[in-house]
Amino acid sequence: MGGRNYFEKALKDKLRQKEYSDEAISFTMEKLKEYNYIDDEKLTAAFISDKKRFSKKGPRYIAQALKMKGVDSEIIRSALEDGYDVDEAYENCKALALKKYDYYKRKTEDQYTFKGKMYGFLAQRGFNSEVIRKVLEELMSQED
């Protein structure tokens, strides 16, 4: 399967698509785990690291993306606790907000609409309301 790392569910789906039997898939998955060629926990940690570093995504966005890839909820929760703290979420949220600040300032006439647009943008990127509120308060206080 090349040099790409797969989550367990994705690999199973790929093997099913190629019409391998369930017994063959089970045997293959056992062997891959035995030789540590497939490890959802390590792959989840790497995925979180990449998403927070390169695309500045928030914890909720990352959790949803991992859930869609079939990663167990407990692995996701544990990996996010270990790999994405509140300070990092705040910094990433602030970086995204600063990036969009001028754009939304030009597009909106009043502060209420501006805050709503920014809040929506940041929430869509996976940040929780507490972090977003903190960032918006800081941005608005700098403006005064």
pLDDT tens digits, 36-65: 889 999 999 999 999 999 999 999 999 999
Percentage of the residues of the chain whose pLDDT score is greater than 70: 97
Average pLDDT taken over every residue of the chain:
92
| Domains in the chain: boundaries | 1-38, 40-84, 87-143
Residue 2 pLDDT: 55
Residue 1 pLDDT: 45
pLDDT tens digits, 78-102: 999 999 999 999 999 999 999 999 9
DSSP 32-80: HHHTTS--HHHHHHHHHHHHHHHS---HHHHHHHHHHTT--HHHHHHHH
